[in-house]
Structures are given as structure tokens and as C-alpha cells.
Amino acid sequence: MFRKVFQVSQLAFLRFLTRLMLKKKIYKEPTNIMKNFQMRFVNKGYLNEDLTKGAESAPYSIIQELVHSFVSLRQFRNEEDFYIQVAKNWVNDLYSSNHKISLLFLILYVALIGTVFLNQYVEVISGGLWLIGIFLSPIIGFIIALGGKGWKRLGLVFTHLFLLTYSIIVIV
């Protein structure tokens, strides 16, 4: 169980680092990473030699997305920047996942504020944990929202700043 969580978190972190390298136009490392993944996927049966989907199914969705990137771009496999295209395709939707995770912290904040009214009748959450959550959820949401893109990024950033300010006002 913990091994699977560790493997998926490593892949997610590698995906994030690949996005950062592509953003800074550092192409050597993502190319090497994609070449290694291609060889590994062919050996495990997730991909065939001609970059069609293999007989085996990938166990995690993050690996399935990378396999799909290889399969969808297989017509460009003879081009020089093939692995860069695959890497860009793989990390393309990270912006939307940042928006979703930031929105999750926004919902967590609203739920924590809602427990104030329930705590009058039944102790739902302890006071110290509530205070930590009421300050950390806007801060973490703000940091994650910075990784987004476009107008959603600005909306989430300003919303989390407003919630942090509101938290300070409520406590003080």
C-alpha cells in the first residue's frame, strides 16, 4: 500500500519537475527521462516497439497518461524533438489539476468555517486543529494556485488571499 503511494508520488513529483524544466527551456533532462520511460514501458508491455498500446495495462493513471502521450504522438517518432513533444503533452494538463487542488483547499476552508456552528452543539474538531486548518488551507491553496494558468489562477490567488485575511480578522 505505502509502496504504491510512494511510487505515484515520485511520478507526480517527476512530472512537476519535468514541467518546470520545459518551462525554463531545459530540454536535455526531459528527453532522457522520456527515453528511459519508453524503454521501461516497452519492457513491461505497456507499449509496443512501434509505440502502439501494449498488451499490458498500466497500473496507475499517471503512467496511463504518459503511455497515451507516446501513443498519440507516435507519428512524430522520427522527429528530433519527439521526446520533448511527448513530455509537453504529458505535463499539459497540470495547470488544470493545480486549479482543482486549489479549489479543494477552498472547499476545505469553507468546511472548517462551517464547523464553527456545529461546535456550539457537538465538538466536531478540536480548537488547535481548527486554527491550524483555518490558516494553512488558504496558504497552501494560494501556493498551489500560483502553479495554475490564466484567469482561474488570478481568481484563486485573490480568493485565497482574501480568505487568509478573513482568517486573521476572525481570530484577532
Across the chain, mean pLDDT equals 86
- Taking 80 as the threshold, does the pLDDT of residue 152 lie above it? yes
- Per-residue pLDDT at 9 exceeds 70: yes
Within 10 angstroms of residue 141's Cβ, the number of other Cβ atoms is 26
- Residue 57 is given by DSSP the state P
Helix (H, G, I), strand (E, B) or coil at 47: strand
Give 153's contacts (C-beta < 8 A, 6+ positions apart): 95, 98, 99, 145, 146
CA distances (Å), origin 129, targets 126, 132, 135, 137, 141: 5, 5, 10, 12, 17
How is the chain split into domains, by residue range?
2-91, 94-171
What tens digit of pLDDT does each residue of 96-125 get? 778 888 999 999 999 888 887 776 666 666
DSSP structure string for 92-134: TTHHHHHHHHHHHHHHHHHHHHHHHHHTTTS--S-HHHHHHHH
Per-residue confidence at 62, pLDDT binned at 50, 70, 90?
confident
Q: How confident is the model at residue 139 (pLDDT cuts 50, 70, 90)?
A: very high
pLDDT of residue 122: 63
Contact status, residue 146 vs residue 157, Cβ threshold 8 Å: yes
